[in-house]
């Protein structure tokens, strides 16, 4: 059984395990397991061991090295980690200089004692839900190597699910934390926008649609890491302080009196019958744990949300994709070009329609929150597609259940 994030950090703080030993073990797992998975697109063994040795010196001096002491982490390759090139799955960025600074999230993880061991793979700029690109190739699902691990935080999801590292960073603009988490069989949580600050040197491609957060096997571990990275930053005007503790909430998992609305399709998805069977069994488990399923609501949203989402996401995608003058051919897989291409001719009216669609979705959810505490839906419509193939469901195999909630 692999240690949890909390157990691993506690063993380092107590002296039961040495940071160098922990990092050497993670590097050995990468060397043996990641040949097949390809979850990581860059690894800095020397740098990780240097971080571990520095932790050992601080421990020997009696210092408090933090709640994530010695925990090896992967950083999604859309986010800066000092010393690594932020390639974003784009051949045009392979020759960029290494990032001089960590992102706010990564800096907070390091300050808490975590050790950055490498970067995890992503589709180009997170533009689609299968983790594949023309620089590093595809990442694979640890449960079925022939299938996608989802995306866009697919490298992180695969690395955590396989037990290579217990913690990674992810980001979610249309499902990019939740989709690979569902595909790889781990917990997945998209924090409310602003809980985890952004504030990088470059403008966020999708603005307030996208948010960052840690990825781990269980919500208790995610909550523990969220307590480290949450909170206001002057570099992100959308960030805010959040009272209380995610970890404390996760330690009180009572469902007594929780009111649940069940939505099998949200009004626009077409799930496999087997998916619904599994979800209905999960609903039964929730009820046995004390929750009350008060009603079924098929049409949560009055309109298919993809056009509203594109009105907000596509212009930023086009700007990101065209900042570098290198031609698109040889830079992007066909599926990665779809959102950006839509942005080339997006009008101001369509952008405002996107804002209106987001507002309408918010009002609809507010109406449901008046009646219930939780809305339960499937995570995906069907199993992930085979690597290199399109799902017969199209992009909806993944995003049909996630994209609307980014609005």
Helix, strand, coil fractions of the chain, as percent rounded to 5: 40, 10, 45
The DSSP string of 131-192 is: ---TTT---EETTEEEEE--SSSHHHHHHHHTTS-SEEEEEESSSTTHHHHHHHTS----PP
List, edge to edge, every strand of the sheet that includes 211-215: 40-43, 115-120, 72-76, 167-172, 211-215
Question: Distance between CA atoms of 55 and 178, rounded to whole angstroms?
Answer: 32
* Collapsed DSSP state (helix, strand, coil) of residue 194: coil
Element (H, E) at 76: strand 72-76
Tokens 């997945």 belong to residue: 188
Question: Distance between CA atoms of 311 and 348, rounded to whole angstroms?
Answer: 9
Question: Distance between CA atoms of 172 and 122, rounded to whole angstroms?
Answer: 12
Under 8 Å between Cβ of 19 and 70 = yes
Give the ranges where 15-77 is alpha helix by DSSP (H).
Answer: 19-37, 45-60
Residues taking part in catalysis: 76, 152, 176
User: Residue 306's closest CA among 256, 267, 254, 348?
Assistant: 267
Question: Distance between CA atoms of 104 and 117, rounded to whole angstroms?
Answer: 17
Under 8 Å between Cβ of 240 and 194 = yes
Distance, C-alpha 298 to centroid of its chain: 27
Residues in the chain: 407
Under 8 Å between Cβ of 377 and 401 = yes
First to last CA, the chain: 38
């Amino acid at each position: 059984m692999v240690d949890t994030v909390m157990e691993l950090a506690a063993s380092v703080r107590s002296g039961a395990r040495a940071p160098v030993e922990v990092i050497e073990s993670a590097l050995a797992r990468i060397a043996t397991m990641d040949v097949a998975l390809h979850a990581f697109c860059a690894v800095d063994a020397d740098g990780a061991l240097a971080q571990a040795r520095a932790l050992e010196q601080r421990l020997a001096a009696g210092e408090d090295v933090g709640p994530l002491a010695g925990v090896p982490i992967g950083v999604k390759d859309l986010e800066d980690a000092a010393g690594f090139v932020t390639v974003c799955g784009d051949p045009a960025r392979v020759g960029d200089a290494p990032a001089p600074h960590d992102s706010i999230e990564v800096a907070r993880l390091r300050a808490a004692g975590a050790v950055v061991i490498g970067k995890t793979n992503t589709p180009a700029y997170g533009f689609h839900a299968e983790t594949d690109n023309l620089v590093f190739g595809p990442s694979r699902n640890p449960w079925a190597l022939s299938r996608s691990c989802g995306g866009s935080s697919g490298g992180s999801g695969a690395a955590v699910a396989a037990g290579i590292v217990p913690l990674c960073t992810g980001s979610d603009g249309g499902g990019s934390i939740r989709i690979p988490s569902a595909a790889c069989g781990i917990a997945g949580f998209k924090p409310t926008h602003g809980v985890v600050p952004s504030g990088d040197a470059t403008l966020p491609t999708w603005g307030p649609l996208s948010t960052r957060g840690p990825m781990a096997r269980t919500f208790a571990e995610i909550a523990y890491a969220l307590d480290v990275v949450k909170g206001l930053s002057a570099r992100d005007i959308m960030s805010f302080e959040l009272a209380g503790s995610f970890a404390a909430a996760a330690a009180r998992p009572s469902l007594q009196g929780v009111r649940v609305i069940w939505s099998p399709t949200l009004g626009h998805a077409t799930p496999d019958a087997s998916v619904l069977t599994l979800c209905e069994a999960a609903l039964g488990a929730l009820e046995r744990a004390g929750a009350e399923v008060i009603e079924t609501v098929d049409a949560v949203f009055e309109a298919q949300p993809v056009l509203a989402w594109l009105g907000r996401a596509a212009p930023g995608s086009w700007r990101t994709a065209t900042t570098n003058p290198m031609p698109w051919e040889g830079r992007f897989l066909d599926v990665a070009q779809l959102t950006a291409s839509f942005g080339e001719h997006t009008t101001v009216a369509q952008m405002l329609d996107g804002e209106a669609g987001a507002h309408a979705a918010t009002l609809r959810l507010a109406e449901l929150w008046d009646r219930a505490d939780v809305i339960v839906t499937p995570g995906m419509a069907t199993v992930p597609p085979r690597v290199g193939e399109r799902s017969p469901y199209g992009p909806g195999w993944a995003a049909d259940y996630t994209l609307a909630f980014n609005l």
